[in-house]
């Protein structure tokens, strides 16, 4: 099927806003990108405002969406927040997780996200006993993403201990497979189930050095190396994590992951907030992506990571909404710049083009879709159109459109989304209908 879209403005490589761009789609790929077409052809769908490649949410825990607002009524800490999160995890089964995740992914689509990296560790039944299909929860997430119309990189997570040297306890038993070999066997079955599926990538994740003993990490890394698939890991999110790791292993988390073969161009270090100079150099020299999740990092009072130094050292930067305190990749992007302004006392660390690249091409590449996130012939046909006439963006010109979107737009300004050649959002409305209602019903079900 051949479709045409005429973009009033489009963000084209190498990071320029171009007027009057005609985009032709065949199947799930771009066939042609033609700039300087002054008027839309009769058969083309007109896309007003600025059209971007699809956004990639490189770090998601879908079930955390049920916590939005709940944890703001108390002071607490990361660790008390975690107890609330465990309560939600205890309430889910494959059916209720499908219902919740479908609504969460539809919310992402409304925000312009066409691909999600789901950091998935909620594997088994509430008592830790596997379901009849040991990947039932993973299948629910894939079904949810497909229903919402977005691609998924299902980052199947190895989670073996409740802390350094501490066995899993309580709801944590749902997360564990016993050891990395048994995790790998289950992950292989999951990967086989989606072999050849163009909309699903099955990757791997080490939850953290707290949750996977050092001797088990190479098995997870080997899965990634053998299948050339993404490998993600929470890294140095908390200073307490660093201190415990140094005490047990005489190495920081980054050093330990380096020694165990878990870093490299297919790897992504999530957060990387509290790093030494050596850590920063190791991440950069290995080409490891770093996923910044500023809205979650500030919500949990984790701190501000050294995004610009990491980027300059050689680590591509990506973005994630993580706990879904909000789902807004424009906010994640501008927060990378604005938070660094607060820490440094100066402006101008990142250009709008660099932040858009983090939200698009770099994010897709880190999730195993290097052929997405860019408006070029042959790339995956994802288009996200953002209004430039709302109360937030009014006054933008072609010369300032990218800056207006990055530093002022919100998901409310996204009016059209095409994912894989299929239009899933039209006039700001998702094909599933009332997504707010779907979210409310799903959260009530598990509350």
Query: Which positions are annotated as active-site residues?
Result: 271, 322
Contacts 24+ apart (CB under 8 A), 402-408: 402/11, 402/15, 402/17, 402/50, 402/352, 402/353, 402/356, 403/352, 404/50, 405/50, 405/52, 405/330, 405/352, 405/356, 406/330, 406/333, 406/334, 406/352, 406/355, 406/356, 407/334, 407/337, 407/352
- Give the strand pairing for 414-419 and 383-386: antiparallel
Distance CA 166, CA 54 (A): 41
SS3 state at 292: strand
Buried b (16+ CB within 10 A) or exposed e, 229-241: bbbbbbbbbbeeb
Structure tokens at 433: 């209908």
Residue 130 phi/psi, 5° resolution? -60, 150
CA–CA distance, 286 with 268 (Å, rounded to integer): 11
- Half-sphere exposure of 285 toward its Cβ, with a 13 Å CA cutoff? 9
**Which residues are CB-contacts of 219 (< 8 A; sequence separation ≥ 6)?**
158, 180, 181, 183, 184
Beta strands 414-419 and 422-426, pairing class: antiparallel
Q: Which residues of 270-288 are buried (b: 16+ CB within 10 A; e: fewer)?
A: bbbbbbeeebbbbbbebeb
**Token pair 């079904």: residue:** 143
């Amino acid at each position: 099927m051949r479709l045409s879209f005429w973009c009033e403005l489009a963000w084209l490589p190498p990071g320029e806003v171009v007027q009057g761009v005609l985009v032709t789609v065949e199947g799930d790929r771009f066939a042609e990108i033609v700039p300087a077409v002054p008027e839309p052809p009769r058969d083309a769908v007109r896309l007003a405002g600025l059209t971007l490649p699809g956004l990639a949410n490189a770090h998601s825990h879908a079930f955390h969406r049920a916590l939005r607002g709940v944890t703001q009524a108390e002071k607490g800490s990361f660790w008390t927040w975690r107890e609330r999160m465990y309560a939600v995890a205890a309430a889910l089964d494959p059916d209720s997780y499908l219902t919740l995740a479908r609504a969460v992914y539809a919310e992402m689509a409304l925000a312009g996200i066409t691909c999600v990296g789901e950091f998935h560790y909620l594997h088994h039944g509430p008592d830790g006993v596997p379901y009849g299909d040991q990947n039932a929860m993973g299948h629910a997430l894939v079904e949810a993403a497909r229903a919402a119309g977005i691609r998924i990189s299902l980052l199947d997570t190895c989670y073996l201990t409740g802390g350094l040297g501490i066995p899993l306890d309580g709801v944590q038993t749902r997360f564990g497979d016993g050891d990395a070999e048994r995790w790998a066997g289950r992950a292989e079955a999951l990967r086989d189930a989606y072999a050849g599926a163009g909309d699903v990538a099955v990757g791997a994740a080490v939850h953290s050095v707290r949750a996977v003993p050092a001797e088990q990490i190479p098995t997870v890394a080997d899965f990634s190396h053998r299948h050339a698939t993404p490998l993600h890991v929470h890294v140095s999110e908390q200073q307490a994590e660093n201190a415990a790791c140094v005490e047990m292993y005489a190495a920081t988390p980054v050093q330990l992951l380096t020694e165990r073969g878990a870093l490299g161009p297919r790897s992504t270090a999530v957060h990387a907030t509290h790093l030494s100079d050596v850590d920063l150099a190791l991440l950069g020299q290995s080409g490891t992506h770093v996923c910044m999740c500023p809205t979650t990092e500030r919500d949990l009072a984790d701190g501000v990571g050294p995004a610009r130094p990491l980027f300059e050292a050689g680590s591509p930067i990506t973005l994630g909404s993580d706990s879904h305190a909000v789902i807004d990749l424009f906010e994640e992007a501008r927060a990378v710049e604005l938070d660094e302004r607060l820490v440094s006392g100066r402006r101008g660390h990142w250009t709008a083009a660099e932040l858009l690249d983090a939200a698009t091409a770099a994010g897709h590449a880190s999730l195993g879709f290097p052929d997405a996130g860019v408006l070029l012939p042959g790339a995956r046909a994802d288009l996200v159109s953002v209004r430039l006439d709302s109360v937030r963006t009014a006054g933008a010109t072609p010369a300032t459109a990218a800056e207006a979107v990055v530093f002022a737009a919100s998901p409310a300004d996204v009016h059209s989304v095409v994912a894989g050649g299929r239009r899933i959002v039209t006039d700001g409305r998702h094909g599933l209908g009332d997504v707010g209602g779907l979210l409310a019903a799903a959260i009530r079900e598990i509350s």
